[in-house]
Each structure stands twice: as C-alpha cells, then as structure tokens.
Amino acid sequence: MSKLASWELNTIYSSQQIIPCSLKIHLQWFADEEDAPGRTEEPSEHKLRELRKEGQVVKSQELVSALGLLIPAFLLLALAPSMLNTCKELIRFFFERAVELDPTKDAIILAVLLRYFVRLAAPIMIVAFIAAIISNVAQVGFLFTTKPITPDFSKVLPKIGQYFRRIFSVDGVYNFVKSIAKMAIIGFVAFILIYSEKDKLLRLQETSIMMGLTTVGTIAIKMLIISALLLGALSIPDLIFQRWRFRERNRMTRYEVKEEQKMYEADPQIQGRIRSRFRELLRQNIRTAVPKADVVVTNPTHLAVAIQYDQGYMEGPMIVAMGEDEMAARIRQIAQENDVPLVENKPLAWALYRDPKIDVGDIIPREYWSTVALVLSKVWYLNEEKRRRRMSA
C-alpha cells in the first residue's frame, strides 16, 4: 500500500472518530465538578472555618448593591439644595473668570475644580463606602483576608471546558436569570415613573431651568429609591439561594469526613491507648524518681508532691513526681518503701499541684522557696537526728 493510500485511510478513520469524541467533550461542559455524586455529606465545622479563613463566605451581593444605592439616594435627597448651590458657585466662578484665566498656565483652575468636586462627591462616596461595609459585616461578620485578591497565575489561561461548565451550571443559569430580573425591575420602575410624569416632562421647554432640574432630579431620586427597595427585596431569596449553593458546593465525601475525624477528633480507641501508655510511663517514672526525692509533701490523702534538691547542681528545688488520689497513694507507698520522709502541708501541696506554671521536672518558682526551705530544713534535721542515733547505737 502506498503512503498516500495509507494517509487517506488514516484520515477517514480519524474523521469518523472526531464526531463521537467531540460530542463526549461537549457533554462534559454541562457537568459541575463541585456537585459530584460522591459528595453527599454536609460540610463540617472545621471545613467551614477553613473556607472562612480563605474568604469564602455566604453573602448576597444584591443586598450590598441595594444598600449602596438606597442610603446614598436618601443622602442625595437631603443634600440636593446645598449641592445645587455648590454647582451655582462653580459655574459663577468660571464664568466670572473666563477671560482672566488661562487653562494652560493657571494651576488655580485645576485646584478649584478639585475642591468643588470633593465638596459634591465626597459625602456620597463616603456614605456609599460605609453602607457597603455595613452590608458586608451584617452578612458575614468581621473578616479580613487577602486570599480572594491574591493573584493566581494558573487562572490566566482560559480553560474552555471550565468556561462552558460555569455558563451552563446551576450558578450560571441562576445569575443569568437574576440579571434579567434586575434589568426588568429597573426598566419597569423607570417606565412607570417616566410615564406618570410625562405631562411635566413634555412641558419642560416652557418652564425655567430650576423647575426643569427639580423635576428631572425628583424623578431620578424616586427611581433610585424604588429600585433600591426592590433590589433589597430581591436580596432575600438571593441570600437563601447563596446559602444553599454554598453548602452544596462544599459538600464532602464520606472518606473526607472520616479522614477529618481521624485528624482532628481522633479515634476513641487511639485516645484510650495514648492515655493508657501515658499512665504506664508515668508509673515507671515514679518508681525511679520518688526514691531520689528528699521529701514528699502530702495533703495528706488526696495529693502527693515529691521534691528533690541538690545544692551541687540544682538552682532550686525540683518536682520529680506529683499526683492525686490513686497516683498520690502510689507515690506515698514508694516513698515509705524507700525511707523518703512524708510531710503533711496542705497549703503547699495544693499550691504546687494547682499552679499551671508547674509540672513534673520543673524548678519550683521562687515564691514558694521560703515554704519549701522550711520543709526541707525540717527533713534534713530529722535525717541528721536519725544518723546520730544510729551512730550512737
């Protein structure tokens, strides 16, 4: 077979495989990876906390937009007379100096223009900014994170499959319907207001400039307020939907739930083994540590604290063992078997055992040294008396 015939057969075979292969790829565009069938479990509290740290929270952007439109609209309504006077001053200033000032040379023109712009726009911008903060805090609480705005270069190159999945997913269809609803609301409000004031608008050419501005401004502010109220009403079902979709998108598989429980809650059997092993190590340490102690301070029955002090290499008295109830009884038993003195001092025993800064192997803090010194001096005196009696006998 010639190379040309072989190439033609391969081309025909490839062309026959293109159609089903391409159909399979296009069908995948309609699938949502986040709504995989295996994700049947509700997101855990730990996962929700981690998502919050990354800036992924539930909120309705429509509520932010509604408040950001409504509150500045009321402020604009209240400040309209003073803003109109500011505009008059601006026009009068430039008309009076139209012949005197040169826009290419006099920097005062730009300075004056910026000053009037700040007087007109600053109150509206500040109030809109505060309204946006309030609406966000009311929905998600106080949260500051830079992760949502951190650049992700893996998203620079578009992925056709993900693009089509987003368009035809539940979120894509919902956002499309929501955008149509918002445009319909604003268009309907504008139509009703303009139609109801058509007679006044048709007679604007017969009225003064001030009357025309007042009429148009009143219609515009009414349109802003009514649209903002309707968008606020739309934000209620939107917030419910966003909460539902947030939990749906972040569902977990059973395997993920089990792994998280092992990692953060631990298996009860493992916890039991750890506690058992810890008690065993502690008992073994008691057998070797208590005989080296100089004294065991007792409660006398509930607590026992073994103290060792060697002036040669210790900077202060050290706790070598301590415990309560069964552990205290074990310490007292080992002390009696090894002729370690038992001294009853309830205040000192409770103070050393309850102090969160003190643990086995720690040097006793200086605030207890005077009391511990009295106990040790008494023990050393008794030991010296015993030694003398043995020598004399």
Identify the bridge partners of residue 307 per DSSP, sorted by sequence position: 295, 319
Using a CB cutoff of 8 Å and minimum separation of 24, what contacts does 216-225 make? 217/80, 219/193, 219/194, 221/73, 221/76, 221/77, 221/80, 222/193, 223/189, 223/190, 223/193, 224/69, 224/70, 224/73, 224/76, 225/70, 225/73, 225/74, 225/77
248 has a pLDDT exceeding 80: yes
> Residue 9's pLDDT is what?
37
Residue 230 and residue 62 in contact, taking contact as beta carbons nearer than 8 Å = no
Give 279's pLDDT tier (boundaries 50, 70, 90).
low
CA dist 267 and 274 (Å) reads 11
Q: Between these two residues, 80 and 152, which has the higher pLDDT value?
A: 80
Give percent of the chain above pLDDT 70.
75
pLDDT digits (tens, 9 = 90+) for 187-221: 999 999 888 888 888 888 888 888 888 888 888 88
Q: Between these two residues, 154 and 353, which has the higher pLDDT value?
A: 353
Residue 291 and residue 342 in contact, taking contact as beta carbons nearer than 8 Å = no
> Residue 150's pLDDT is what?
67
Of 319, 314, 378, nearest to 345 (Cα)?
378
Q: What is the pTM of this model?
A: 0.49
Secondary structure of the chain in HEC code, one letter for each residue: CCHHHHHHHHHHHHHHHHHHHHHHHHHHCCCCHHHCCCCCECCCHHHHHHHHHCCCCCCCHHHHHHHHHHHHHHHHHHHHHHHHHHHHHHHHHHHHCCCCCCCCCCCHHHHHHHHHHHHHHHHHHHHHHHHHHHHHHHHHCCCCCCHHHCCCHHHCCCCHHHHHHHHHCHHHHHHHHHHHHHHHHHHHHHHHHHHHCHHHHHCHHHCCHHHHHHHHHHHHHHHHHHHHHHHHHHHHHHHHHHHHHHHHHCCECHHHHHHHHHHHHCCHHHHHHHHHHHHHHHHHHHHHHHHHCCEEEECCCCEEEEEECCCCCCCCCEEEEEEECHHHHHHHHHHHHCCCCEEECHHHHHHHHHCCCCCCCCECCHHHHHHHHHHHHHHHHHHHHHHHHHHHC
Give percent of the chain above pLDDT 90.
2
Of 143, 144, 176, 138, nearest to 60 (Cα)?
138
264 has a pLDDT exceeding 80: no
310 has a pLDDT exceeding 50: yes
387 has a pLDDT exceeding 80: no
Question: Which domains can be identified in the chain, with CATH numbers?
Answer: 3-30 (no CATH), 51-148+155-251 (no CATH), 290-392 (3.40.1690.10)
Q: What is the average pLDDT score of the chain?
A: 77
Residue 305 and residue 319 in contact, taking contact as beta carbons nearer than 8 Å = yes
Give 91's pLDDT tier (boundaries 50, 70, 90).
confident
CA dist 194 and 206 (Å) reads 18
Average pLDDT over residues 25-52: 62
Give 180's pLDDT tier (boundaries 50, 70, 90).
very high
pLDDT digits (tens, 9 = 90+) for 115-170: 888 888 888 899 988 988 888 888 877 776 666 666 665 555 555 555 556 666 78
Q: Between these two residues, 142 and 274, which has the higher pLDDT value?
A: 142
302 has a pLDDT exceeding 60: yes
Identify the bridge partners of residue 324 per DSSP, sorted by sequence position: 303
Identify the bridge partners of residue 344 per DSSP, sorted by sequence position: 298
> Residue 363's pLDDT is what?
84
Give 4's pLDDT tier (boundaries 50, 70, 90).
very low
Q: Between these two residues, 109 and 166, which has the higher pLDDT value?
A: 109
Residue 252 and residue 43 in contact, taking contact as beta carbons nearer than 8 Å = yes
284 has a pLDDT exceeding 70: no
Give 20's pLDDT tier (boundaries 50, 70, 90).
very low
